[in-house]
């Protein structure tokens, strides 16, 4: 599980940029907590444009965070960055205790083996690298 300080730090910065940009999502900022992503797992192959189930653990969410809502973002690891597509979130306003959300991958995503899904509340967790293949 990719959960370096860098990851958390960048997620925090992104959270802030969400607020600054007045995006439709306003995570309640009470406590730093990063959901633990359980899908996608490392090396999974998902086709562009497909619907997929992104999942995370709920058994380690502290009670103070039970009302948090999450944003799910697609990114790719390159140049020591997660290169998150914050302009096109895969999902927003997802209740953290739901533990999963079905997302539709961008139909125009290009082939790449270094994609990541990041789930952000007031903090975030990046999944391991997975692959998106061309839809046809
Ligand atoms: C997504 O996965 C979770 C965890 O396995 C499961 O509980 C949920 O029903 C799945 N959602 C759908 C729509 O299949
Ligand atoms: C979560 O929301 C419910 C319903 O609005 C509220 O009763 C509860 O106190 C909230 N819990 C926390 C930890 O904020
Ligand atoms: C994929 O990510 C790894 C680890 O961050 C990096 O070393 C590698 O250069 C990346 N590959 C591409 C094609 O960006
Ligand atoms: C990675 O860095 C190289 C060299 O600066 C640059 O050419 C390339 O576009 C960068 N890739 C991404 C995905 O930012
Ligand atoms: C995919 O399409 C969206 C919406 O038209 C666009 O904003 C985005 O830049 C495109 N992504 C790629 C990788 O072409």
Residue-level pLDDT at 129: 86
Residue-level pLDDT at 46: 97
Q: Is residue 68 part of a domain?
A: yes
Distance 53 CA to ligand 4 centre (A): 30
Count of the separate structural domains present in the chain? 1
Q: Residue 133 class from Cβ within 10 Å (0-12 exposed, 13-18 middle, 19+ buried)?
A: middle
Tell me, what DSSP letter sits at residue 111?
Answer: P
Residue-level pLDDT at 121: 79
Q: Which residues of the chain have pLDDT under 50?
A: 1-30
pTM metric for this prediction: 0.73
Distance 77 CA to ligand 3 centre (A): 6
Q: Is residue 106 part of a domain?
A: yes
List, chain by chain if needed, residues with CB within 6 Å of any ligand 3 atom.
77-78, 114
Indicate which CATH number applies to the domain containing 101. Answer: 2.60.40
What residue numbers bound the domain in which 95 lies? 37-133
3-class state of residue 74 by DSSP: strand
Q: Is the distance from CB of 84 to CB of 115 less than 8 angstroms?
A: no
């Amino acid at each position: 599980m990719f959960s370096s300080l860098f990851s958390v730090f960048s997620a925090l910065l992104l959270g802030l940029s969400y607020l600054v940009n007045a995006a439709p999502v306003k995570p309640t900022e009470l406590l730093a907590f990063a959901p633990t992503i359980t899908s996608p797992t490392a090396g999974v192959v998902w086709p562009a444009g497909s619907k997929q189930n992104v999942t995370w653990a709920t058994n380690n969410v502290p009670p103070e965070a039970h009302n948090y809502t999450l944003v799910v973002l697609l990114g790719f690891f390159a140049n020591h960055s997660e290169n998150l597509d914050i302009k096109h979130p895969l999902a927003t306003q997802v209740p953290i205790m739901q533990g999963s959300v079905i997302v539709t991958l961008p139909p125009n995503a290009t082939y790449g083996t270094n994609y990541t899904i990041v789930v952000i509340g007031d903090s975030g967790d990046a999944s391991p690298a997975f692959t998106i293949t061309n839809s046809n």
